[in-house]
Structure 1
């Protein structure tokens, strides 16, 4: 009958969507695997060329090729990290943990890891019990901090904040620096979206914040990004249901 045909059509459509989603989730790992060997050959060839007597007029091209290979290498590293997080999410088990204690420990570590930045923690006085994967929460915060460091000037004060209401725990990382361009906040968390250029003048490929989105979704939450009201910086964070 017609209802049966419609049901079968929807079932087929959902199956294809699931297959496509699975393909997209594994695409980064597949690309990283396929690109790694050709890139190694290119870098080895560049090493050999640089040891030869190359005309001065050709040195500029060698330099550009070297920079391009280093950029590809950075992309591969980021793609590998995204793939490992996806695998970790697939096997993660939920446990009870104190989110405040996890954030306190992480911020203390960042003070030693990034001596060129200051860190301020604005956290509730007491514990906040959540169910989830604390190791993944730390990885998520690592990516938020990396983003804040990349887009803030030396000596900047980065704030890690936890806002809590009866239904949601909101983790926010706030940094001074250039504001997000118009329409960009909604795309920051897409895979392989090349976003702003950081204070180190290097392009950023969006995989760090894509990882933030994956971990947030595992915990039933969602990421967000916005400019500060006075235009002095950016706030990026995650809302997780309690």
Structure 2
């Protein structure tokens, strides 16, 4: 299972369980909370009525007063009140009054007048001077039929002369409880969903950052040119920088070892030729032969110098992870300058050059590297073009890129060599002598093309060989 999925799963379990626990706890507390608030209101109401009814109960004229008619009229009222989205269409309080012996003197429902309520807790406890309250079911088999009763003493001085009880069915509170639970449920679900979304985004961001670092490490281990990914986050940025420093250290050591071995191997042949010629020059020989050996030493020394210079140029390009500058480079002007430098060689071989590069066709890149790359391509083409042959330079723009084509008249490249032309130190014999080059020119051009985000292709065409260099268009 991917790391991001595992992180999200753990986060999901934590947020889900924590959210469910908190939500279920709050849900369970809504019902008793509403009932406690209602009971507190009933206590106030009962005590207010106890003060209002005190004189009538003390005088014994409660039944003959206006209170029975008032309570009957109260029971018929239809408030039509909108309370937090719940419509209230009738009053629900039941009020009854008992004397000091618990006998009902007045009942707003008119059903219990004259009955003995002295055994009910609301009346019993209040007559004892305690807080009197009870909750009783109207239907013993129906748990939703419970009614809450709260009583207050009617006093004459310090003597309790009666009790007034106020009752409210719990079912009248249920719409408010259900509405609160419903709103809380939606809110809780939304918060849990938002938390999970944040967790998913966090897991995706962390996984994406790790995938970038993984791809970077894989590219580096495969020897590819890779740019350090840009990451946000202190620890991830530090990890990326640590990987970059480790890559630089390891690549530097391996690079030096590889080039020392390569340079040692490639210098063996010219050094052996120079040493052999020097030994022979120590003896007596004709002047003409001596001059030939001196020429060999000069030729091999030049070969060594060219090899070292090209290795240094190639090393500079291979070690780079990006361009030092990105400027507009005109291709036609660059190629004309290179042809001008090679004009003596072109004239000596009687070569025909057709420069078809259009004016105004520019590319983005580092001018110095592009000049070196084109110089290598032109030098390679001149090596393989026979005397009297011709070269053609052309270019076309497509899909935001420029394809520079350099054609030279020459024999076809063998199939076995086509795939290896850009390998380091691989070279084909030059026409007319069989001499090989250092094998670094095309490899250098390929590295420059990749550094610019382009590519190098070499293939046989009718009448010769064509090299295609793809670069980003300016």
TM-score scaled by length of structure 1: 0.74
Which residue of 86, 96, 121 maps to 2:328?
A: 96
Does the 8 Å CA contact 1:75/1:205 hold for their aligned counterparts? no
Deviations 1:128-151 (A, max 9, x none): 232211222121111111111111
Confirm or deny that 1:80 pairs with 2:309: yes
- For 1:120, the equivalent position in structure 2 comes to 354
Structure 1 residues 38 and 175, CA, compared in 2 at 3 Å: closer, same or farther?
Answer: closer
Q: Structure 1 residues 175 and 37 mapped into 2: Cα distance closer, same or farther (>3 Å)?
A: closer
Higher relative contact order (CA 8 A, sep 6+): 1
Q: Deviations over 1:17-57 (max 9, x none)?
A: 45686635873466437876996587256313333158xxx
The answer to whether residue 451 in structure 2 is matched with residue 218 in structure 1 is yes
1:174 CA drift (Å): 0.9
Correspondence for 1:27 among 226, 246, 258: 258
Deviates more, 1:18-27 or 1:166-175: 18-27
1:109 aligns with 2:341: yes
In the superposition, relative to structure 1, how do residues 107 and 199 fare at CA in structure 2: closer, same or farther (>3 Å)? same
Give the secondary-structure state (helix, strand or coil) at the position aligned to 2:360: coil
Aligned residues of 2:377 and 2:445 also touching (Cα < 8 A): yes
Query: Is 34-43 or 191-200 further displaced after alignment?
Result: 34-43
What is the total number of aligned residue pairs between the two structures?
A: 230
Alignment of 1:1-242 (within 5 A): 3=3, 16-18=221-223, 23=254, 27-28=258-259, 31-32=262-263, 43-44=274-275, 46-53=277-284, 74=303, 77-87=306-316, 90=320, 92-115=324-347, 116=349, 117-124=351-358, 126-228=359-461, 230=462, 232-242=463-473
Runs of 4+ in 1 over 6 A off after TM superposition: 6-12, 66-69
Which 5+ residue runs of structure 1 have no aligned equivalent? none
Q: Which moved more, 1:156-165 or 1:36-45?
A: 36-45
Quick one: structure 1 residues 199 and 235, their matched pair in 2 at CA, closer, same or farther if it must change by over 3 Å? Answer: farther
- Quote how far apart the aligned CAs of 1:180 are: 0.6
Aligned partners of 2:442, 2:360: CA distance in 1, in Å?
27
Tell me how large the CA RMSD over aligned residues is: 4.0
Pick closer, same or farther for the CA change 1:156–1:37 going to 2, 3 Å: closer
**CA–CA distance in structure 2, aligned partners of residues 9 and 166 of structure 1:** 31
SS of the residue aligned with 2:466?
Answer: strand
SS at match of 1:155: coil
Bigger drift between 169-178 and 12-21 goes to 12-21
Distance 2:257 2:403 in 1: 29
**Are the counterparts in 2 of residues 219 and 240 from structure 1 also a CA contact under 8 Å?**
yes
Q: TM-score, with normalisation over the residues of structure 2?
A: 0.41
**Distance change (3 Å), C-alpha of 1:24 and 1:69:** farther
Distance 2:470 2:219 in 1: 28
Q: CA deviation at 1:118?
A: 2.4
Whole-Å separation in 2 of the counterparts to 1:236 and 1:25? 31
Secondary structure of the corresponding residue to residue 342 of structure 2? helix
- Distance between the aligned counterparts of 2:381 and 2:394, measured in 1? 13
